[in-house]
């Protein structure tokens, strides 16, 4: 999957996530890639994976989780398969969001769990009908 942005904030890092729905509370969300825009506000990233109507996450049981940092859950909750058809981009940091004229709110959408707010999403699609679900 190729994701390209144009006319975005210049020299800014973004985090790409696959989400259950496009807006908060997002539902099941998983990190896919990050990239930076250039000095003209253009950026792109190529993510490899299965991005189609079959895209889903599930946890068939509760198990201990790796403790990479203080934000990590000690164990995962069990849940049935959940399809995740939306895309979202978050600012790489609250400072970059603020530099772009947005609130400097901290979110967990980054490897260090200290990303900025959501910058772009597929919210033009209905909550349960994201664009990845249209790919056969």
pLDDT at 39: 97
Which run of H or E residues covers position 30?
Answer: strand 29-36
For the beta carbon of residue 84, count every other beta carbon within 10 angstroms.
22
* Residues 6 or more apart in contact with residue 45 via CB below 8 angstroms: 2, 3, 16, 33, 34, 35
Domain boundaries, the chain: 2-134
Residue 106 has a pLDDT of 97
Walk along the chain (136 residues) and give the pLDDT tens digit of each residue.
Answer: 999 999 999 999 999 999 999 999 999 999 999 999 999 999 999 999 999 999 999 999 999 999 998 889 999 999 999 999 999 999 999 999 999 999 999 999 998 899 999 999 999 999 999 999 999 9
Its pTM stands at 0.92
Q: Which two tokens stand for residue 23?
A: 């807006």
Please state, in angstroms and rounded to a whole number, the distance separating the CA atoms of residues 127 and 136: 19
């Amino acid at each position: 999957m190729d994701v390209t942005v144009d006319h975005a904030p210049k020299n800014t890092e973004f985090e790409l996530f696959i989400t259950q729905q496009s807006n908060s509370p997002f539902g099941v969300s998983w990190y896919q890639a990050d990239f930076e825009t250039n000095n003209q506000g253009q950026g792109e990233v190529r993510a490899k994976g299965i991005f189609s109507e079959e895209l889903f996450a599930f946890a068939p049981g509760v198990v201990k989780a790796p403790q990479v940092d203080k934000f990590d859950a000690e164990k995962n909750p069990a849940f049935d398969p959940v399809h995740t058809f939306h895309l979202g981009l978050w600012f790489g940091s609250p400072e970059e969001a603020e530099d772009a004229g947005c609130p400097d709110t901290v979110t967990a959408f980054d490897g260090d769990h200290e990303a900025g707010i959501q910058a772009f999403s597929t919210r033009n699609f209905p909550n349960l009908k994201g664009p990845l679900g249209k790919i056969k």
